[in-house]
């Protein structure tokens, strides 16, 4: 009796310890990765944001100087933040609306569904560099087919990637072409809405718009929210398309000749990630580059926490 | 579109009602499919223009002509024979293949533990995974670059991009976990009672059931590496022998800045493997996208 009451917890403890070791073993690759490729560099980035550092000579502490420089004297920070805000508002909302529209259309298609779905999905897979160069060609004001067609029907022919007023709309068109991921997500969500709800609404005399407004929309709200928040986070990272479009449109690709002017034309395509690259890897002002990186991190994590809070399903138990 | 009202009609004339419904269905069919065809044309036109330009002569590609006057298929041969192009292919393939294999190897056990083990700090670990997934790569790139350049002297190669994938990839872990949650615990319990170890349960029971999710993760990772521009730009740009297709394509455009025909042929050659692979694995791919977005 006394013996068993002392051995049982010991056995339990041993079992627990074995369980913990097993968990640790399974998690170990990621634990190492988290430390080396996330926690350590993240802390270093914060640390460097307070240092004067060119990557060669030893870093020296400068307090808030880099912060002051980026927020107050660096000529592009606010412009880049403004561009990002523009892209978040226009690109993200249009992508969600357009993705939902195509998703709705796909659920109604009865003939050739596989064909249409493939066509809407494929551009999403196109490598961003290839897609951007392709659009720089299509939207080339001189030789591109798009302006040729616009001219044929008597519409104005914008300069697209070469005009600061049109460069962001041109990037938005490129983003809308790659709507395939949202199309798939919305289609799946729309097919999950129960038929009974539609039938009940129809019996109550609801027209197509009312059915969409009072049955479809409330049912897919979580997915819309997911698409918006992940869209915002993706837009905070917007880099490849912006930099490649600027390079190709300005004709300064490949590093030969004059240096590329980032944000071409007239800073209209500057984004925060490009500033990290430009300041850190081209101007060797690592301190200021890290200030931008920290700001980028803060904004991204704010939106991530929004996603975590609103979609508790992310953390669901089993 | 729907001119007929939905109000219940007395059942005395069923044929009229049925005919009305049939007409409404037919009109609906025509409307939906015309819209779908119009949208499909818009999505396809860029590919069509790229292709038509890719077979034009150098001179015609600089005009606004839409249709090739003569078909220059040898443009594709010229692109293929451009110095470096083959190297970029080899590097991209190495990055994508090694990256995908390492991602699977390192992420599957982590996803399994997060989905099926109960331990203190599990939610915290999961939140850390999600934070990593959402983190812009530019946030940590400067310290990472300094480490790879100064401690390991590996910049100018693709190793700084491949090696981290041996330590789990947050997106893959998350996606796999989402799928593993859907596998009933009863299977695992039964195996445990039979005295099966966790590793064996993972290999013998879970992996065969998780095939679609694993296929989706493999494809996503392959495409991610294939399409990656930022990584190669940071780590490989200083050494042309280590360039990938994404990075090389940009410089290709620079070297042939007046030759839209060759540039478009190269662009299509870079897109082609992605598109071919998609046709072979469509189902896995679409299931994977659905998994990330819907089954939260």
ipTM value, please give it.
0.90
Å between B33 CA and nearest CA of chain A: 7
Q: Chain B contact for A58, CB < 8 A? A: no
DSSP assignment of B179-221 equals HHTTS-HHHHHHHHHTT--HHHHIIIIIHHHTHHHHHHHHHHH
Distance (Å) of CA A299 to CA A45, A161, A268, A288, A302: 15, 27, 21, 17, 5
Per CB-CB distance under 8 Å, the chain A contacts of B229 are 127-129, 239-240, 244
Per CB-CB distance under 8 Å, the chain B contacts of A250 are none
Distance (Å) of CA B128 to CA A195, A292, B135, B151, B213: 38, 22, 10, 26, 21
Per-residue pLDDT tens over the stretch B166-224: 999 999 999 999 889 989 999 889 999 988 888 999 999 999 999 888 998 999 899 99
What is the per-residue pLDDT for B43? Answer: 96
Distance (Å) of CA A106 to CA A46, A122, A145, A173, B21: 46, 15, 28, 20, 22
Per-residue pLDDT tens over the stretch B216-253: 899 989 999 999 999 999 999 999 999 999 999 988 88
Whether A177 sits inside 8 A of B43 (CB atoms) is yes
Which residues in chain A come in under a pLDDT of 50? 1-4, 317-318
Q: Chain B contact for A155, CB < 8 A? A: no
B64 pLDDT tier (thresholds 50, 70, 90): confident
More confident residue, B163 or B295: B163
B24 CB burial (10 A radius; 0-12, 13-18, 19+)? middle
Å between B286 CA and nearest CA of chain A: 7
Across the A:B interface, residue pairs with CB atoms under 8 Å apart total 298
pTM of the entire predicted model? 0.90
Whether B167 sits inside 8 A of A207 (CB atoms) is no
Residue B18 backbone phi and psi in degrees, to 5? -65, -40
Helix axes B137-146, A286-310, angle to 10 degrees: 140
User: Does pLDDT of B141 surpass 50?
Assistant: yes
Per-residue pLDDT tens over the stretch A168-213: 999 999 999 999 999 999 998 999 898 899 999 989 988 889 999 9
User: Does pLDDT of B97 surpass 90?
Assistant: yes
Per CB-CB distance under 8 Å, the chain B contacts of A252 are 254
* C-beta atoms surrounding B107 within 10 Å: 29
B277 pLDDT tier (thresholds 50, 70, 90): confident
Q: Once rounded to an integer, what is the mean pLDDT over residues B119-137? A: 91
Per CB-CB distance under 8 Å, the chain B contacts of A138 are 46, 49-50
Strands A51-52 and A60-61: antiparallel
Whether A254 sits inside 8 A of B2 (CB atoms) is no
Whether A48 sits inside 8 A of B119 (CB atoms) is no
B11 pLDDT tier (thresholds 50, 70, 90): low
What is the per-residue pLDDT for B5? Answer: 44
Whether A307 sits inside 8 A of B128 (CB atoms) is no
Whether A23 sits inside 8 A of B117 (CB atoms) is yes
């Amino acid at each position: 009796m006394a013996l068993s009451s002392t051995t049982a917890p010991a056995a339990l403890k041993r079992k627990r310890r074995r369980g913990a070791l097993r968990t640790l073993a399974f998690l170990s690759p990621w634990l190492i990765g988290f430390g080396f490729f996330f926690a350590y560099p993240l802390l270093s980035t914060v640390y460097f944001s307070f240092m004067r550092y060119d990557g060669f000579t030893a870093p020296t502490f400068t307090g808030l100087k880099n912060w002051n420089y980026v927020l107050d004297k660096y000529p592009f920070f606010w412009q880049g933040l403004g561009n990002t805000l523009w892209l978040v508002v226009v690109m993200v909302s249009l992508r969600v609306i357009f993705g939902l529209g195509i998703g709705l259309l796909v659920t109604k298609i009865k003939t050739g569904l596989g064909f249409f779905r493939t066509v809407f999905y494929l551009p999403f897979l196109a490598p961003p560099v290839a897609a951007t160069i392709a659009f720089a060609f299509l939207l080339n004001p001189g030789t591109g087919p798009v302006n040729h067609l616009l001219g044929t029907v008597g519409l104005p022919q914008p300069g697209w990637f070469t005009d600061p007023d049109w460069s962001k709309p041109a990037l938005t068109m490129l983003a809308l072409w790659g709507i395939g991921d949202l199309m798939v997500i919305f289609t799946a969500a729309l097919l999950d809405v129960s038929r009974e709800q539609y039938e009940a609404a129809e019996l109550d005399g609801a027209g197509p718009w009312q059915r969409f407004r009072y049955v479809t929309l409330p049912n897919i709200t979580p997915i819309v929210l997911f698409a918006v928040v992940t869209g915002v986070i993706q837009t905070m990272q917007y880099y490849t398309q912006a930099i490649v479009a600027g390079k190709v449109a300005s004709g300064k690709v490949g590093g030969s000749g004059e240096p590329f002017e980032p944000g071409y034309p007239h800073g209209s395509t500057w984004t925060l990630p490009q500033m990290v690259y430009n300041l850190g890897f081209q101007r060797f002002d690592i301190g200021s580059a890290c200030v931008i990186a920290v700001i980028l991190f803060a904004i991204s994590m704010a939106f991530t926490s929004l996603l975590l809070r609103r979609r508790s399903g992310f953390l669901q138990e089993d | 579109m729907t001119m007929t009202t939905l109000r219940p009609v007395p059942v005395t004339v069923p044929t009229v009602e049925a005919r009305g419904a049939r007409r409404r269905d037919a009109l609906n069919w025509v409307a939906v499919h015309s819209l779908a065809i119009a949208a499909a044309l818009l999505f396809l036109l860029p590919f069509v223009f790229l292709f038509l330009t890719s077979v034009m002569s150098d001179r015609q590609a600089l005009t606004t002509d839409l249709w090739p006057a003569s078909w220059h298929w040898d443009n594709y041969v010229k692109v293929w024979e451009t110095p470096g192009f083959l190297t970029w292919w080899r590097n991209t393939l190495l990055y994508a293949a090694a990256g995908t294999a390492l991602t699977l190897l390192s992420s599957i056990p982590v996803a399994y533990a997060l989905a099926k083990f109960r331990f203190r700090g599990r939610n915290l670990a999961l939140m850390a995974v999600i934070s990593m997934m959402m983190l812009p790569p530019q946030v940590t790139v400067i310290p990472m670059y300094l480490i790879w350049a100064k401690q390991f002297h590996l910049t100018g190669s693709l190793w700084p991009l491949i090696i981290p994938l041996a330590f789990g990839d947050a997106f893959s872990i998350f996606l796999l976990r989402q799928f593993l949650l859907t596998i009933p615990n009863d299977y695992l319990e039964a195996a445990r009672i039979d005295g099966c170890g966790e590793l064996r349960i993972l290999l013998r029971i879970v992996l065969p059931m998780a095939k679609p999710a694993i296929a989706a993760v493999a494809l996503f990772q392959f495409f991610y590496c294939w399409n990656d521009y930022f990584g190669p730009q940071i780590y490989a740009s200083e050494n042309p022998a280590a360039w990938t297709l994404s990075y090389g394509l940009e410089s290709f455009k620079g070297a042939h800045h007046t030759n839209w025909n060759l540039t478009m042929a190269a662009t299509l050659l870079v897109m082609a493997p992605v598109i071919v692979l998609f046709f072979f694995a469509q189902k896995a791919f679409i299931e994977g996208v659905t998994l990330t977005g819907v089954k939260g």
